[in-house]
Amino acid sequence: MNAEETSRFVRLRVELVLEVQDEDQVTKAALRRLAGDPDLPPEERDQAEGGVTDDTAEALAYLVDPFDLVREVPGVELQQASWSSEHIEYDPDSPDWELDEDDGADDDEEEVGIG
C-alpha cells in the first residue's frame, strides 16, 4: 500500500489483567462515577448501581474508560470503542499467560510489558 492508499484508521488492542486488592474501594469509586454522570437517566443509573455493587468486574468496566486512554493523544479522534471485564483465574507463571504471540505482530505493532 502506498501513502495514498494507507487507511487513516488504526485498531489498538489492549489487554489488561488487574489484581483487585480492595473490592470495596473499587465499588465505591464506580458508584461515585455513576453518581457524577449527569447524562445517565435515573432508571439506567439504578440498574448500573446494582451491577457495580454485585460484581467488581462490572465496577471496573465503569472505571476503566478507553476514551480516557486517548483523550489527550494529539492528532487522533476515537471513532469506536468496546470493552468488557470478567473474573478470571490467573497464574503469572503459567505459559498460558505469556503475551499473545499468535497475533502475527509485524513492524507496525509494538508489545509493551510492565514489570
Q: Is residue 6 in some structural domain?
A: no
The counts of H helices and E strands in the chain are: 4, 0
Q: Is residue 36 in some structural domain?
A: yes
Q: Is residue 68 in some structural domain?
A: yes
Q: Is residue 31 in some structural domain?
A: yes
Q: Where in the sequence is the domain holding 60, given as residue range(s)?
A: 23-77
Question: How many domains in the chain?
Answer: 1
CA neighbor of 85 nearest in space, from 10, 4, 14, 22 = 14
For residue 68, what is the enclosing H or E element?
Answer: helix 66-70
Q: Is residue 60 in some structural domain?
A: yes
Q: Is residue 53 in some structural domain?
A: yes
| pTM of the full structure | 0.70
Report whether 50 contacts 79 (CB < 8 A).
no
Q: What is the pLDDT along the chain (115 residues), one digit of tens a residue?
A: 565 678 899 998 888 889 999 999 999 999 999 999 999 999 999 999 999 999 999 999 989 988 888 999 999 999 999 888 999 888 888 887 776 655 444 444 444 444 4
Joined together, the cell numbers standing for residue 67 give 476514551
Helix axes 42-54 and 23-35, enclosed angle (nearest 10): 170
